[in-house]
Structure 1
Amino acid sequence: MSNSNQQAGSTSEKAGISPPEITNISAINQIKNKRRQQPTSQELINGILEGNRTSLSRAITLIESTNPDHFEKASEVVQGCLTHANKSIRIGITGVPGVGKSTFIEAFGKHLTELGKKVAVLAVDPSSSLSHGSILGDKTRMEELVKDENAFIRPSASGETLGGVARKTRETIILCEAAGFDTIIIETVGVGQSETAVHSMVDFFLLLKISGAGDELQGIKRGIMEMADAIVINKADGDNIKKANQAKVEFNRALHLFPSKKSNWQPKVTTCSSLTKDGIPEVWNTISNYFELTKESGFFQEKRNEQNHFWMLETINEELKQNFFNQPEIVSLLEKSKKAVQNNEISSFAAASQLLKLYFDKGAKAQRDKGSE
């Protein structure tokens, strides 16, 4: 046999295994067709109101989608759930990576479900700036809570939003409330600016710290300290108990340097261990006392009203941004403008003005055409 024939023989296809006779082609096609079917907006709304987790998860995925075709359907679902929302308490939890946020939330969440609460955890997972991917491993880290029938954990990629929270997180809260969850916990990425966004959508803001990190000596960042309604020193167990108590004293001193809050609430500092569960009930007692005070004074509802106004403006900004970058003419000119700016052929300000002028002129033309119909 020649070399060419040998090569042909080595690379030729060989007979494979025939499909078993029991394979039901009709059943396979039915499954495929069923997978292609998407529930209507009303079906999702009905499922959410009935507490169906699959409907809730599908609706959240719809909200998180960047596909323009999904925006209208997502808005319909949110609007349909709106009258059934606003019946929960919203708690934001932040802290630097490594402070034990996931472990704390699992211990805290289990304590709440044991008290008869229905807990939804919205965990924001950081996205890579290079691959844009996320691990979404919070369910793995909260293996006990994820099995609790009174808990719902939804990890989401931070994407390009400020610290991983934006309008999508806000709308997800509405869906979870409509599904019957009375306690919503939002875990931030914990990288700095995300705290501002979380603070604008929660009722209570909890800052997790660990002893020995040096922050108690600096009084940590003034902005985050002023936003915190409570500071919890985590990992207060074993040989670390003494250090945690020392950190508690230092943080208490730092808190008294700040002006009084509008709510008239004096932020508390406590210690806890997410492993031994020591101090977890005290954290909930602190939060309960806060809600009792702010609801009696009317601050709770006043803050909710201010947040609604804030998110109306944020939604306008987000919608304008989405609409702007989804215009084919803008996308085409944007690529040309990028190259011109990089080559110093035009200033970044002039390029931006050209893009905005094209956008507004296009919008004005569309209005004139609509009026002439």
Structure 2
Amino acid sequence: MANTSSKPRDNIDDLAQGLVAGKRAALARAITLVESRRSSHRRQAEALVSRLMDRTGRALRIGITGVPGVGKSTTIDTFGSNLTAAGHKVAVLAVDPTSTRTGGSILGDKTRMARLAVDRNAYIRPSPSAGTLGGVAAKTRESMLLCEAAGFDVILVETVGIGQSETTVAQMVDFFLVLMLPGAGDELQGIKKGVLEIADMIAVNKADGEGAVRARAAASEYRAALNILAPRSKTWSPPVMTISGLANERLDEMWEQILTFRDRMTATGEFQEKRATQQVAWMWSLLQERLLEALRTNGSVKALLPDVEAAVREGRMPATLAARQLAEAFGVEL
């Protein structure tokens, strides 16, 4: 009996040691563990992350978004390769709510990030193959901590740039980069105001060759759009610049801007406060997610749910009463 109870702890110890030692196989197994939906695996994952917490928090976390076709994969591949050449260790993670249907766009990106895919100082991880955006985001947060514990000092979190994924990623990173296409005219019309409000920098990509003139014009329009928005911080006004991920143009300058952001925000205490706020928000998000999961899987609730849903759908019961009945079946008074 003693051997059975000690085995999970021994496995977690071995996994933690291998991960800290920089073994890629250990990191891959650890991320697979936190992605698992089994309750026993969840507890092991919590034990693993808790054990490694003192080794986390040292990386610079950068979110990158952009509409399909903007050149995210190429830019990340080039940008990440520049960073590894400069001595950094780079991890690329993904938040992809469409992965429930397609398996996740990052799976294709991994083959297109040709240099990073074979770089010993880089690690590319597909997002989970199932789950809601919230679930994928929760696993990405934990994966980010594991990558930090494994010694990666730059974490790039990619989103497909569709739906609420941009906001979700912005809430888990230090710096949020929005990639845009040249030709701002039509593009500007379709931009969600919310994306501009959460951007820490806008980079107009594909600013090489014939696209350079259009990219500069687009950058001017984005600057004008940002000028009418109230800045989120007195310390930082989001810059707009033109880059070329394909030609590796101005990516070093983009990195310098990111470092300037970190230094300024750290000096005022905003950097640390932002991370602390994100941690507390993450706690509440996990609590909400797990309470809802417990509610849905509760036997009494499951037995009552079909009739209650039918009554609400047919207009025989108000949603407020339905919610109260389900909560009481769960053992909670509203």
Provide TM-score, normalisation by structure 1: 0.80
CA distances 1:28-77 after superposition (whole Å, capped 9, x unpaired): xxxxxxxxx99722222111111111111111111111222321111111
Instruction: Look at both structures and tell me which one has the larger radius of gyration over its CA atoms.
Output: 1
Matching of residue 248 in structure 1 with residue 219 in structure 2: yes
**Contact 1:206–1:229 at 8 Å: present in 2 too?**
yes
**Contact 2:19–2:149 at 8 Å: present in 1 too?**
yes
Query: Pairwise mapping of residues 209-358 of structure 1 onto structure 2 (< 5 A)?
Result: 209-212=180-183, 214=185, 217-218=188-189, 220-358=191-329
Matching of residue 171 in structure 1 with residue 171 in structure 2: no
C-alpha distance in 2, partners of 1:190/1:260?
A: 22
Matching of residue 41 in structure 1 with residue 12 in structure 2: yes
C-alpha distance in 1, partners of 2:281/2:302?
A: 29
Q: Which residue of 2 aligns with 1:190?
A: 161
Q: CA deviation at 1:100?
A: 1.3
Provide TM-score, normalisation by structure 2: 0.89
Matching of residue 89 in structure 1 with residue 49 in structure 2: no
C-alpha distance in 2, partners of 1:336/1:342?
A: 10
CA distances 1:109-141 after superposition (whole Å, capped 9, x unpaired): 001101101001002344366x57446322112
**Aligned residues between the structures:** 325
> SS where residue 19 of structure 2 aligns?
helix
Query: Which amino acid in the other structure matches residue 243 of structure 2?
Result: C
Query: Which amino acid in the other structure matches residue 258 of structure 1?
Result: L
**Contact 1:209–1:233 at 8 Å: present in 2 too?**
yes
Q: CA deviation at 1:179?
A: 0.5
- Does the C-alpha gap of structure 1 residues 347 and 38 become closer, same or farther in structure 2, counting only changes over 3 Å? same
**Contact 1:119–1:150 at 8 Å: present in 2 too?**
yes
CA distances 1:263-293 after superposition (whole Å, capped 9, x unpaired): 5111111111111111211111111111121
Query: Which amino acid in the other structure matches residue 151 of structure 2?
Result: G
2:85 to 100, 103, 114: 114
**Contact 1:91–1:184 at 8 Å: present in 2 too?**
yes
C-alpha distance in 2, partners of 1:142/1:253?
A: 33
C-alpha distance in 1, partners of 2:96/2:224?
A: 33
User: Once superposed, what is the RMSD of the aligned Cα atoms?
Assistant: 2.4
- Does the C-alpha gap of structure 1 residues 358 and 163 become closer, same or farther in structure 2, counting only changes over 3 Å? closer
C-alpha distance in 1, partners of 2:219/2:130?
A: 35
Q: CA deviation at 1:91?
A: 0.3
Query: Which amino acid in the other structure matches residue 309 of structure 1?
Result: V
Query: Which amino acid in the other structure matches residue 154 of structure 2?
Result: T
C-alpha distance in 1, partners of 2:227/2:162?
A: 25
> SS where residue 125 of structure 2 aligns?
strand
Q: Which shifted more, 89-98 or 352-361?
A: 352-361
Structure 1 or 2: larger helix share? 2
Q: CA deviation at 1:329?
A: 3.0
Unmatched 5+ residue regions in structure 1?
1-36, 364-373
